[in-house]
Amino acid sequence: MDTVTPVNTTTPPPAVSFSEAFLFWLKLGFISFGGPAGQIAIMHTELVERRRWISEKRFLHALNYCMLLPGPEAQQLATYIGWLMHRTRGGIVAGALFVLPSLAILIALSWVYLRFGDVPLIAGIFYGIKPAVTALVIHAAHRIGSRALKNRWMWGIAAASFVAIFAFDVPFPALVLAAGLIGHFGAKWAPGVFALGGGHGRQQQHYGAALIYDDTPPPAHARFSRGHLLKVLGTGLLLWLAAMAALVMTRGLADTLTQMGWFFTKAALLTFGGAYAVLPYVYQGAVEQHHWLTGAQMIDGLALGETTPGPLIMVVAFVAFVGGWLHQVLGPASLLAGGALAAAVVTWFTFLPSFIFILAGGPLIEATHGKLGFTAPLSAITAAVVGVILNLAMFFAYHTFWPQGFGGHFDVVSALLAIGAAIALFRFKLGVMPLLGICAVIGIVAKT
């Protein structure tokens, strides 16, 4: 599976069969650690540099489109390239295999968490990685901020976003809408202020002729037509309606699974800026409104999400599993099955929009090489996201350092762990997995 044609040649590699691509996407689903940046880097190394299935220019063009969309850009990029190579089935397989291994692993880990969470060993592991998660969120705010906050106007949007959600508890969707409007209208009088900042426009390199090269014309299935667009949008809407109708008819509007389906549909359309950006919205709904899990459990879920392959937004599967388990959606005798069903339902509603965006919009994007614009709203939304993530970091720090609230004791060990984790991330560029492993070991020692 890993045999590749040497690079730096003028001869493109041979055509890739669907079965060969299937095996690669399956492998990618199990090795896609490191968050969006790491996952995109893995795909670049494998698809652009080693296998030369797609050129750097076409890879970045697809990535720029995915960055404009709500949803996990790395999973959408895999879907896009799979679709470009092997039509609709290729896109579905690439996108699904990016998610399914993570779903299976998270269901297993969620069961261990709920079933054995009070065991000292497991409790020690989570005690150690919670401060690391706090540092990771701060690091995410810095990483996104360094890309997005290019001028004082962007800093102002980020500051206003932080104040709005921290001091006035403004809902996340309202912040996204307000920031998008600011970007839309602001670009008309100051386009330079709202130009999309990003780390993906770097000087391109050439790794030899690719199967899908810079000037390779789009295949027949990738050419835009209104009929295709309407067909994909109609099919996607029917799939969503069928799943929602099945829940409503079998369980009712007020049922936990139905409410999860509707809530995470909205969340899927608001994930501008990645998983860290939508987590405050998930917290508001899942913890404060629906009480599917507690704030402390939310932190634990993010920690589990960081340790598994696949997009970090898969933390929603943990949220759903815990909610399905605690609300006994299939009865007290079927807690595991109920949690797994809830996780599967939420995964469906969370990722269905991503597939629709790619399969419907891909042909249009293939016709616009070098012309992709309308990025000003995204720039403003990304700036607002920085303030939202900073608020999320404060929320995690509060629950980690004062586990019983401000009236309780201050956890010095957790604070020192968070500081150490931040130093490891910012100063020594330590990877996520080694960081979590080290902190887990320290947590075990501290609790035993």
Give the per-residue SS3 of 122-188.
HHHHHHHHHHHHHHHHHHHHHHHHHHHCCCHHHHHHHHHHHHHHHHCCCCHHHHHHHHHHHHHHHHH
pLDDT on residue 208 = 82
Summary count for the chain: helices (H), strands (E): 16, 0
Across the chain, what does the average pLDDT equal? 87
pLDDT of 400 higher than 60? yes
Structural domains of the chain, count: 1
- Which pLDDT belongs to residue 272? 67
Condensed to tens digits (0 to 9), the pLDDT of residues 113-159 reads 999 987 888 888 889 988 988 888 888 788 778 877 889 999 999 99
Q: What pLDDT was estimated at residue 203?
A: 45
In a domain, 57, yes or no: no
pLDDT tens column, 215-269: 888 899 999 899 999 999 999 999 999 999 999 999 999 999 999 999 999 989 8
C-alpha pair distances (Å), 151 with each of 155, 156, 182, 190, 214: 6, 9, 15, 12, 33
Token couple for 117: 């969470």
Q: Per-residue pLDDT for 7 more than 70?
A: no
Inter-residue contact 139 to 425 (CB < 8 Å): yes
Handedness of CA 265, 341, 38, 364 (dihedral sign): negative
User: Rounded distance, CA 60 to CA 129, Å?
Assistant: 34
pLDDT digits (tens, 9 = 90+) for 316-328: 999 999 999 999 9
Instruction: Provide the pLDDT for residue 41.
Output: 77
* Digit-coded pLDDT (tens) for 195-212: 654 444 444 456 788 999
Q: What is the pLDDT of residues 348-365, one digit of tens each?
A: 999 999 999 999 999 988
Neighbours of 375 (CB within 10 A): 19
User: What is the Cα–Cα distance from 297 to 30, expressed in whole angstroms?
Assistant: 25
Strand pairing partners for 54?
212
The phi and psi torsions of 205 (rounded to 5 degrees) equal: -115, 165
pTM: 0.76
> In this structure, which amino acid lies at residue 28?
L
Helices (H), 224-274: 226-251, 256-268
Domain hosting 310: range is 119-196+221-447
Answer yes or no: is 49 within a domain. Answer: no
Flag whether 264 is in a domain: yes
Cα distance between residue 201 and residue 204, in whole Å: 8
Q: List the one residue out of 83, 68, 5 whose CA is nearest residue 358.
A: 83
Q: How far apart are CA 404 and CA 45, in angstroms?
A: 46
Decide: helix, strand or coil at residue 33: coil
3-state secondary structure of 37: helix
What is the C-alpha end-to-end distance of the chain, expressed in Å? 44
pLDDT recorded at residue 273: 60
Residue 158 within any structural domain of the chain = yes
Mean pLDDT, residues 77-85: 96
